[in-house]
Amino acid sequence: MRKLLFEILVKPPLTEDAPAPDEAAVAELARAVDQAARRRLGRSLAIRQVDAGSCNGCELEIHALNNAYYDLERFGIRFVASPRHADVLLVTGPVTKNMREALERTWAATPGPKWVVAAGGCAKDGGCFAGSYAVTGGVAGVLPVDLHIPGCPPRPVEILRGLLALLA
Amino acid sequence: MSEMRTPVPDAPSLGELLAAGRAVPGHRPWPRAVVDVDDWGLAAECLTQGSVTLLGLWGEAEAVHMALLDEPAAAIGVLSLSCPEGRFPSVGELHAPAIRLERAIQDLFGLEATGLPDARPWLDHGRWGFRRPLGNAERAAGAAPPYPFLPVEGEHLHRIPVGPVHAGIIEPGHFRFTASGETIVRLEQRLGYVHKGIEGLMTGADLARGAELAGRVSGDSAVACALAFARAAEAALQVEAPRRAQWLRALMAELERLANHFGDIGAICNDAAFSLMHAHCGVLREQVLRAADRSFGHRLMRDVVVPGGVAHDLEPQGAAAIAAMIAEARRRFPPLVELYDNTASLQDRTVGTGILRPALARRFGAGGFIGRASGRGFDARRAMGYPPYDELEFLVPGLEAGDVDARVWIRIREVEQSLGLVEQILARLPGGPVREEIATAHAVHEGMALVEGFRGDVLAWLRFDASGRIERCHLRDPSWFQWPLLEAAIEGNIVADFPLCNKSFNCSYSGHDL
Ligand code: SF4
C-alpha cells in the first residue's frame, strides 16, 4: 500500500480540465436560476440523484463523475444521501408509474430553492419506453424540469457540463 | 421455501420429459415440447430433486413455458403447457426459485398458478391503470392497495424499512429488514419499481426495435442482453452472424465484463470503508469505457450488437486503444489485488460475511460470480460453447466459501481471464464482413439463446409471427434467481453489512423488473 500511496504523490493527477459549460444549457438555465438563488447556493451544489425507472445506464455515467478523471467534488458539487440536504434533484428514467409517488415525495422533501435536472433520453420524454402502460413518459409530466441533459446515457462530460451550467 | 421432496424413483431425464410431449417444429436451437398437466408436474418434481435446473419460466396469453437445463449434458429444452382455462399448476409450490416468476406471470398475463404459496402481486403495484396488461387487460382505477409484507412475530424484533429511494446512486427497490438488535433475522425484498413494460413494448415490434429495447433491459449489461436477443433472433431465422462479427461481439462482451468487475470490486471495498481501492478501480473502469468509446463509438457499447452481426466495424484506432488499455490494466491491477489480499481491515469485513451455501446456489441455478463463488461452476460461454468461445482459451474460476470475499476473488480471477480473452481476440480477429442482412420472414419462427453476461447467464426467447414481427419476447436476467439468494445470504449478518453484501451480489433491478 505504501508503494501505491507513494506513486500517487509523484505522479501527475489523472483529473482532466473542466469542460466549458454547455451554451444551450446556460441559456436554458438563465431563465430558471436567478441571481439571488445563485448567491444563496454560494457556488456549491448538493445533488440528490433519483432513479425513476432508468435502465441503470444513466446511473453508471453519473457514478463516473466521482472518478479521478472528472472529480466532481472539486467544483463544489457533491451527491448527498437525503433530499433534505439537496439543492438539485438529478432524475433519470422514464418515470415508471411504480416510481412516480416516490419521486414526488422526494421532491416534496427537498427544501427550496430547488432545481430538477432530467438526465437521459428516457427522462425527457420516456425515450424508447414511451407509450408503455407502465411509464408516465418523462420527468416533466411529474415535476417542473429546469434542465435536460440529452443522451442515452449522456457521457459524464456532458452531465458535468450541464451541472456546471447550474453554477455558471 | 419449500422443503426438498422425497425423490421420484427413476426421475426422467430432460430428453424423456421432452419426448413425453408434442414437439413444436421451428423452435431453435433447442427443442420445445407441449406437455400435459401431469408431465408439467413431473418436471416440477425433477426440479426439486435437482436433476434439471430452472432456466426460465414465462407466460403468454394462454400458455406458460419453462426452460430447463440438464447441467452435466449441457442440454436445454423448453416445456410448454397451454392453459385455456387461465390456470396452470404452480411450479413454485414445489420449487421455490419459480415463485417470483409465477407471481410476475399472474400480474402480467392473469394466468393463475394454482397452489402458488405466495400469491401476492409482484410487479403490479396497482398503479398501471390496468390489470393483466399483457393478457386479458382490464382497466383498474383507484388507489394502490397496501402491500402485505410477511408477518413477523417475536420478542425484541424491530423492522427497518428502506427504499425504494436509497441513499446512494443506485436503483430503486424496497428492503424490509427485521432485526434483533444489530442482527438481521429476515430480509424481505419488494421489487418492481422500475418495471417499464419492456415485454409489452416488444410485442408487435420489428427486429430493429426489439434489439433497441433488449439493449436497454439493464444498462450495465447492454452488450450481453443485446447479444442474447440477437442470437435468439438469428436462431429463429436461421441466420448466422459473420465470423468477424462474432469475434467483435465477444470482444465487447469481455470489455463489458471488465468494466463491471473493475467498478464493482472497487465499490465493494468502498462499502467496507476502504476507498483507496475504489479510487483505483474507478480509474481502471474509466479506461475500459474510454477504449470502448474509441473502438465502438459508445462507452457502454450500446446498439452495436444487432441481429445479423454488429452495426459497424471496429474503429480504425480501436484495436490499438484496447491493447493499450489492456497493457495498462495488466500493470495496474496486480498491485491492487495484492492490496486487497493484504489489508486485514478489509478482509475482516469480507471474509465470512454474507455466506451463500452451495446447496442453495445449486437449487436456484445461481449464475455468474454468485454461483461460482458458491460451488456452481456453470458458465454459458463454456457450457454452451457459442462462438468464438469454442476457439478461445479461458478458465472458469470456482470457489466454495460463498462469502463476500469469495465473490470478490471470483471477480478478480475473471478480470484476469477476460484480459487474456481480449488479447487473444485482438491477436486473432478474423477479417471479412460484420453484418448479414436479415430478410423479413413470413412464417412463424421461434428461437432462444443463453449468453454469459458479467452477472451470469441471460436467457432470451422469442417468437416471430407470420408478418415477421415479434409476437412474444421474454428476456430473463440472471438477477431473477440471485435476488432471492441475497435474502438468504444476509440472514444472521449485521444490518451495517447489508450494503457490502448487496454490492457483492449486485443484482440488477432494471433487468429483473423489466
Ligand atoms: S436514457 Fe438510455 S441510459 Fe438512460 S435510463 Fe434511458 S435507456 Fe437507460
Contact B262, B284 (CB under 8 A): yes
Are B124 and B259 in the same domain?
A: no
Torsion sign over Cα B34, B37, B40, B46: negative
The atom of ligand 1 lying closest to the CA of A54 is 5
Are B207 and B130 in the same domain?
A: no
- Cβ distance B219 to A68 less than 8 Å, yes or no, reads no
pLDDT at A166: 78
Q: B129: nearest CA in chain A?
A: A133
Cell of B226: 443485446
> Ligand 1 centroid vs A53 CA: distance in angstroms?
9
B195 touches A: beta carbon within 8 Å: yes
Most A CBs within 10 Å, among B131, B165, B261, to test the A interface: B165
Our count of domains for chain B comes to 2
Residue B8 falls inside a structural domain: no
- Residue B406 is part of which domain span? 198-504
Contact B447, B236 (CB under 8 A): yes
Residue B38 falls inside a structural domain: yes
CATH code assigned at B105: 3.30.460.80
Please tell me the distance from the alpha carbon of residue B31 to that of residue B50, in angstroms, as a whole number.
20
Helix (H, G, I), strand (E, B) or coil at B24: coil
Contact B234, B307 (CB under 8 A): yes
Mark which residues 81-140 of A lie under 8 Å from B by CB.
Answer: 81-83, 93-94, 96-102, 106, 128-129, 131-135
pLDDT at B139: 87
Query: For ligand 1, is residue B299 a contact (CB within 6 Å)?
Result: no
Residue B366 has pLDDT above 70, yes or no: yes
Query: For ligand 1, is residue A122 a contact (CB within 6 Å)?
Result: yes
- Cβ distance B127 to A97 less than 8 Å, yes or no, reads yes
Best residue for ligand 1 mutational test, from A49, A63, A92 (most atoms within 8 Å of Cβ)? A92
pLDDT band at B4 (very low <50, low <70, confident <90, very high): very low
pLDDT band at B1 (very low <50, low <70, confident <90, very high): very low
Are B61 and B207 in the same domain?
A: no
Residue B142 falls inside a structural domain: no
Are B110 and B237 in the same domain?
A: no
Which has more confidence, B484 or A41? B484
Cell of A69: 478523471
Torsion sign over Cα B399, B405, B411, B413: negative
Please tell me the distance from the alpha carbon of residue A63 to that of residue A72, in angstroms, as a whole number.
10
* Mean per-residue pLDDT over chain B, rounded: 95
Q: B197: nearest CA in chain A?
A: A134
Residue B103 falls inside a structural domain: yes
pLDDT band at A25 (very low <50, low <70, confident <90, very high): low
Best residue for ligand 1 mutational test, from A59, A122, A159 (most atoms within 8 Å of Cβ)? A122
DSSP bridge pairs for A148: A118
Model pLDDT for residues B75-107, shown as the tens digit of each residue: 999 999 999 999 999 999 999 999 999 999 999
Are B103 and B206 in the same domain?
A: no
Nearest to B167 by CA among B479, B502, B455: B502
Query: For ligand 1, is residue A53 a contact (CB within 6 Å)?
Result: no
Query: For ligand 1, is residue B302 a contact (CB within 6 Å)?
Result: no
Are B213 and B76 in the same domain?
A: no
Model pLDDT for residues B390-411, shown as the tens digit of each residue: 999 999 999 999 999 999 999 9
| SS3 track for chain A | CHHHHHHHHHCCCCCCCCCCCCHHHHHHHHHHCCHHHHHHHCCCEEEEEEECCCCCHHHHHHHHCCCCCCCHHHHCEEECCCHHHCCEEEEECCCEHHHHHHHHHHHHCCCCCCEEEEECHHHHHCHHHCCCCCECCCHHHCCCCCEEECCCCCCHHHHHHHHHHHHC
Query: For ligand 1, is residue B117 a contact (CB within 6 Å)?
Result: no
- Mean per-residue pLDDT for B489-500? 95
Residue B160 has pLDDT above 70, yes or no: yes
Nearest CA to ligand 1 atom 8: A55
Q: Which of A57, A67, A98 sits opposite B219 (nearest CB)?
A: A57
Ramachandran angles phi, psi of B432, nearest 5°: 105, -175
Residue B378 falls inside a structural domain: yes
Residue B34 falls inside a structural domain: yes
Which has more confidence, B4 or B361? B361
Query: For ligand 1, is residue A121 a contact (CB within 6 Å)?
Result: yes
Ramachandran angles phi, psi of B99, nearest 5°: -60, -50
Ramachandran angles phi, psi of B257, nearest 5°: -65, -45
Contact B61, B200 (CB under 8 A): no
Q: Which residues on chain B are in Cβ contact (under 8 Å) with A62? A: 169
Last residue of a domain, one of B117, B136, B155: B136
Are B224 and B337 in the same domain?
A: yes
Residue B512 falls inside a structural domain: no
Helix (H, G, I), strand (E, B) or coil at B190: strand
Contact A145, A114 (CB under 8 A): no
Are B472 and B398 in the same domain?
A: yes
Last residue of a domain, one of B136, B160, B179: B136
CATH code assigned at B433: 1.10.645.10
Are B106 and B217 in the same domain?
A: no
Q: Which of B130, B276, B302 sits opposite A152 (nearest CB)?
A: B302
Query: For ligand 1, is residue A92 a contact (CB within 6 Å)?
Result: yes
Model pLDDT for residues A65-113, shown as the tens digit of each residue: 999 999 888 888 899 999 999 999 999 999 999 999 999 999 999 998 8
pLDDT at B496: 93
Are B212 and B100 in the same domain?
A: no
B508 touches A: beta carbon within 8 Å: yes
This complex has an ipTM of 0.93
Q: Which of A67, A99, A131 sits opposite B194 (nearest CB)?
A: A99
Best residue for ligand 1 mutational test, from A51, A54, A63, A155 (most atoms within 8 Å of Cβ)? A54
Q: What is the DSSP secondary-structure string of B158-176? A: EEEEE-SS-SSS----EEE
Quickly count: other Cβ atoms within 10 Å of residue B385's Cβ.
12
Are B228 and B121 in the same domain?
A: no
Cell of B481: 434467481
Last residue of a domain, one of B136, B151, B174: B136
Are B398 and B252 in the same domain?
A: yes
Residue B271 falls inside a structural domain: yes
Q: Percent of chain B having pLDDT more than 70?
A: 98
Pairing of strands B174-180, B157-162: antiparallel
